[in-house]
Amino acid sequence: MVSQYINRKQKLFNHELTTRLNTYEVPAKLKEAMYYSLDAGGKRLRPILMMAAFEAYSNEDEKVHDPAFALEMVHTYSLIHDDLPAMDNDDYRRGKPTSHKKFDEATAILAGDALLTTAFQVINTSAFLTAEEKVFLSRELSQAAGPEGMVAGQILDLNAENRSLSLDEINQIHLLKTGKLIRFAIRSGAYLGGATPPQLELIDEYATYLGLIFQIQDDILDVIGNEQILGKPIGSDEKSKKSTYPSILGLEGAKKNKEDLMNKAIEALTQAKVDNDLLYDFVAFLGNRDR
């Protein structure tokens, strides 16, 4: 059921992409680079989580489309900059050349800058949001993506290369680097859908667990995943001596940690009185995914 939902939303999202980008008057080369990375076949996990959280509290759905698109722009910018030679120096992502390989480094840096900035433009020019909603989204997105969130996680991650991390350190990095944006997705979806402040707090808790579950399973798949299904080689973390949940806790310990968090995520949802199956199903979907 989750996977059908995801497929449907992915199609919708990808269908809207060209139309949306065409509303902006942007130099051809820059627009091409922005489009290239946005179109590079991501899972659209963050916007889809936002939509699912929104639908847990509301029936209409126009309100959530602009923020969801903005969020995917921020995620895409972060991938373009992370892939740069000065950062992770990756030539391929999902089998396609990364932005600086397809174009050049200057274009990749500017395409990232452009996507990040346009995310705030998309939110603040939306025809479906009130001023208060725009302020909520702009404030929380900047907090989640900026130097108190994703960018902090990225610099801590870069500085952690080639040394062993404690469990606390690795939790901290992932809570910032991927967790904050996943939390933003779910929290803003619920907020836009009309969740009450106490519900939002419990949804926050759920979202924080979900981000960690996603990351732990990522690490586990790099040890025991099927390369065919995964679409990329396994064992890369061990080869680069990267600290991961399995390297710190052992494979069984990492699985146990993940299952604990899966139970806690379900518990938080139950307390938030969410009666929408989708958000429950995402826990098992992300926790047990094989790619």
Owner of token pair 């990225």? 154
For residue 137, give both structure tokens.
């989204």
Q: How far is the CB of 104 from a copy of itself (least distance, A)?
A: 7
Q: Nearest to residue 204, comparing CAs of 232, 176, 185, 178? A: 185
Quote the CA–CA distance of 153 and 145 in Å, as a whole number. 10
Q: How far is the CB of 43 from a copy of itself (least distance, A)?
A: 23
Q: What number of chain residues touch a copy of itself (CB under 8 A)?
A: 51
Which 74-133 residues touch a copy of itself, going by CB under 8 A?
Answer: 77, 81, 84, 86-87, 100, 104-107, 109-110, 112-114, 116-118, 120-121, 123-125, 131-132
Quote the CA–CA distance of 100 and 51 in Å, as a whole number. 31
- State which residue, 52 or 108, has the beta carbon closest to a copy of itself: 108
Among positions 18, 91, 158, 164, the unique one binding a copy of itself when judged by CB under 8 A: 158
Q: Does residue 148 touch a copy of itself according to CB under 8 A? A: yes
Q: Does residue 284 touch a copy of itself according to CB under 8 A? A: no
Please give the full DSSP string across 83-138, using - where no structure is assigned: HSTTTT--SEETTEE-HHHHS-HHHHHHHHHHHHHHHHHHHHT-SS--HHHHHHHH
Angle at 206 between CA 200 and CA 210, to 5 degrees: 140
> Which CA distances in Å does 268 have to 15, 179, 196?
34, 16, 15
Q: How far is the CB of 25 from a copy of itself (least distance, A)?
A: 5
Other Cβ atoms closer than 10 A to 69: 22
Q: How far is the CB of 89 from a copy of itself (least distance, A)?
A: 10
**Which range touches a copy of itself (CB under 8 A), out of 2-10, 52-60, 152-160, 184-192?**
152-160
Among positions 3, 7, 22, 159, the unique one binding a copy of itself when judged by CB under 8 A: 159
- State which residue, 11 or 29, has the beta carbon closest to a copy of itself: 29
Residue 215 per-residue DSSP state: H
Q: How far is the CB of 66 from a copy of itself (least distance, A)?
A: 12
CB-neighbour burial class of residue 77 (10 A; exposed 0-12, middle 13-18, buried 19+):
buried
Which residues, including other chains, have CB under 8 Å from residue 48's CB and lie 6 or more apart? Answer: 5, 6, 9, 10, 13, 68
Residue 148 per-residue DSSP state: T
Taking CB under 8 A as the rule, which mask of x and - marks residues 177-216 in contact with a copy of itself?
Answer: ----------------------------------------
Taking CB under 8 A as the rule, which mask of x and - marks residues 1-40 in contact with a copy of itself?
Answer: -----------------------xxxx-xxx--x------
- State which residue, 158 or 229, has the beta carbon closest to a copy of itself: 158
Quote the CA–CA distance of 38 and 32 in Å, as a whole number. 10
Quote the CA–CA distance of 230 and 213 in Å, as a whole number. 17
Residues that bind a copy of itself (CB under 8 A): 24-27, 29-31, 34, 77, 81, 84, 86-87, 100, 104-107, 109-110, 112-114, 116-118, 120-121, 123-125, 131-132, 134-135, 138-139, 141-143, 145-148, 151-152, 154-156, 158-159
